[in-house]
Amino acid sequence: MDCAWFIEIRGMHPQTGEEASEWGCSMSMLPMLLIENGRQTSHTGAAIESFRNEMVRASETSTELMVAAAEGRSPKLIEG
């Protein structure tokens, strides 16, 4: 209780999935919080990449549909 930045951290334990609550000095918890922040950032990057891939696929399909319509032919759609 001597720390000026005494805080409570609540969340889910990453290995057990159980709810966790821990009191301590925020400066001593900083390494753990930075690791968790990096983990969440990595998950966000993967989700953005997946979304990008879907948007590219949709754009290619739209382009093929428009070109086929302009040329008066059936579109050659690729199954993803």
The per-residue pLDDT for range 14-48, each reduced to its tens digit, is 788 899 999 999 999 999 889 989 999 999 999 99
Q: What does the DSSP assignment read for 9-78? A: EEEE-TTT--EEEEEEEHHHHHHHHHHHHHHHHHHHHHHHHHHHHHHHHHHHHHHHHHHHHHHTS---PP
In a domain, 42, yes or no: yes
In a domain, 43, yes or no: yes
The per-residue pLDDT for range 56-69, each reduced to its tens digit, is 999 999 999 999 99
In a domain, 8, yes or no: no
36: Cα within 13 Å, side-chain hemisphere: 12
In a domain, 7, yes or no: no
Number of structural domains the chain divides into: 1
pLDDT for residue 13: 83
In a domain, 2, yes or no: no
In a domain, 12, yes or no: no
In a domain, 25, yes or no: no
In a domain, 48, yes or no: yes
Model pTM?
A: 0.61
pLDDT for residue 15: 81
Contact between 8 and 22 under an 8 Å Cβ cutoff? The reply is: yes
**In terms of residue numbers, what domain contains 57?**
30-75
Residue 70 pLDDT level (bands cut at 50, 70, 90): very high
